[in-house]
Amino acid sequence: MQITKTLDGSTLTMRLSGQLNTTTADKLSDEIASSCDGVTDIVLDLEDLTYISSAGLRVILTAQKALRGKGSLVIRNASPEIYAVFDMTGFIDFLTIEQ
Partner 1 sequence: MDLCVEAIIANVDMVTDFVNEQVKRMGGSRRAIAQIDVALDEIFSNICNYAYGNDVGDVTVRVCDVADQNSICITLEDKGIPFDPLSREDPDTSLGLHERGIGGLGIYMAKQIMDDVRYEHRDGFNMLTVVKSL
The residues of the shown chain that bind partner 1, judged by CB under 8 A, are: 19, 21-23, 50-55, 57-58, 61, 64-65, 68, 79-82, 84-85, 88-90, 93-94
- Cβ closest to partner 1, residue 47 vs residue 51: 51
Least spacing, CB of residue 52 vs partner 1, in Å:
7
Least spacing, CB of residue 39 vs partner 1, in Å:
20
Who's near 1: CB < 8 A, 6+ residues apart? 16, 17, 18, 19, 20, 21, 24, 27, 28, 49
Asked if residue 52 lies in contact with residue 20, where contact means CB atoms within 8 angstroms, the answer is: yes
